[in-house]
Amino acid sequence: MRQSLRSANSNLFREYIGAESNSIKFTDVPINPGVEFHFILSFVIDYTTNENSPSPTNGKFNVFWETGHLGPGGPGEVASIKDTTPMSRIIKMYHIDGIDVDYDHFKPDPNTFAECIGRLIVALKKSGTISFASIAPYDDGPIQSHYIFTLRCGGKMAMQ
């Protein structure tokens, strides 16, 4: 017996904006009331933005996207938020309603990474700062191992 797999039309549209100077702008995407939009702003980093010698900021996050691409109201034209971690300042300033975890340079082991990311997501969700969290997929063994472990262990905690 052959099983047929069909994807359901979820009426969900996700688009990365602001990652590069020539990327899609907030105003380039038509708004349709029948479609749920998730605009993904790329990126917020915990490093200085000095091109010559970036250095860690130890949890003090910096905007790392083309803020001019967002339009006069920025993401606030779409969603609103509340409060929690150092990241909350950026989340509030740009009215972001979710995060996509996208680390690719790890010092800690998968267990430590999963615990830290899990706690961050849980704190942001419980406080109402975000309503959505996802983890970026990778096709790279060492990087993927951290995310797989996070989904197996921390994912349960983060989805509460």
CA dist 65 and 62 (Å) reads: 9
Tell me which of 3.90.660.20, 3.30.830.10, 3.20.20.80, 3.40.50.300 is the CATH number of domain 12-158. 3.20.20.80
Is the distance from CB of 45 to CB of 59 less than 8 angstroms? no
3-state secondary structure labels for all residues of 83-135: CCCCCHHHHHHCCCCEEEECCCCCCCCHHHHHHHHHHHHHHHHHCCCCCEEEE
Give me the residues of the chain with pLDDT under 70, please. 1-9, 14-27, 29, 31, 38-51, 54, 56-90, 93-95, 102-108, 136-138, 149-160
What are the sequence ranges of the domains in the chain? 12-158
Nearest Cα residue to 117 out of 79, 154, 87, 72: 154
The predicted pLDDT at position 134 comes to: 75
